[in-house]
Amino acid sequence: MTDQQAAFVFPGQGAQQVGMGRDLYETFPAARAVYDEADAVLGFPLSRLCFEGPKETLDATANTQPALLTTSIAILRAWNPPADPLFYAGHSLGEYTALVAAGSLAFADAVRLVRRRGELMAACPSGSMAAVLGLDDETLAQVCYEASEACAAPVVCANLNAPGQVVLAGEQVALETAARWAKERGARRVVPLAVTVAGHSPLMAAAATELAMLLEHTEIHPARVPVVSNVTARPVTQPAEIRQALVQHLTSPLRWVESVQYMRAQSVQQFVEVGPGDVLAGLIRRIDREAPVVSIGTVSAVQQGQ
């Protein structure tokens, strides 16, 4: 699977599901060691939450973030690919997983960081997110600007996921206004997301300030493999630029379309999604129908890839 020029990509919030990783934990010692380390670092049984739920507890952002990071790294270490890819990249929270894979962050440090990151995000001013389908980016950006002005509250294009699929984030009234106006201007569908945080928006400013202080006291190494940042859609490798990208990450749009396009332009011939589910595989196929994509997230997929 790595004989082609590949990029390994890792999912973010929304990919979690109760039961994720249990079969890997029971099958691969390398995966079991990852979950055991996360349990020890956090001081509570994160593994049990992943395997048994309850769903509403797993879906709390302070739990979801370390759970997904841990599950994706457990899958990666169980798979143990024979060679590095050209790039690593992660969707939102998945960027921390990519940095662990690239050797920039120690797994234990990353688990602590994303746990605290989730807590900081949950403590920010309340907001929400909604996916808008079937409207071009330029029109949607204008809708957000007008709704922000009209409501004197922020709403922005937060996740640029795929052509015709953009997630908005902001204060509730502004978000509802933007959603209504988007439908009036031709959006095929607007889907509210079951979240109480407005990720990748100005409402995360306080969390970004606190996270910056945490990152200053976290050891970050040069990336062994370039990690394509959500913020710039370009690779980062050095500790200073990685710290800056992770701080900006909370308040900046997630440029997933551009990230995939950049990697394709740099001779990536295959994308390998490493994590639970296949959300990113679907997005990548919408961005570039010619891009080969495989998902590795189950025991059988790991065994086939070895």
Phi, psi of 219 (to 5 degrees): -75, 125
Nearest to 227 by CA among 241, 216, 211: 241
Q: How many C-beta neighbours within 10 Å does residue 105 have?
A: 26
Q: Under DSSP, is residue 65 helix (H, G, I), strand (E, B) or coil?
A: helix
In angstroms, rounded to a whole number, what is the distance separating the alpha carbons of residues 143 and 151?
A: 12
CB 198 within 8 Å of CB 128: yes
- Cβ-in-10-Å burial (0-12, 13-18, 19+) of 117 comes to buried
- Catalytic sites, residue numbers: 92, 200
In angstroms, rounded to a whole number, what is the distance separating the alpha carbons of residues 235 and 228?
A: 4
Give the CA distances from residue 66 to residues 96, 98, 190, 280, in Å, rounded to whole numbers and listed in that order: 10, 13, 29, 19
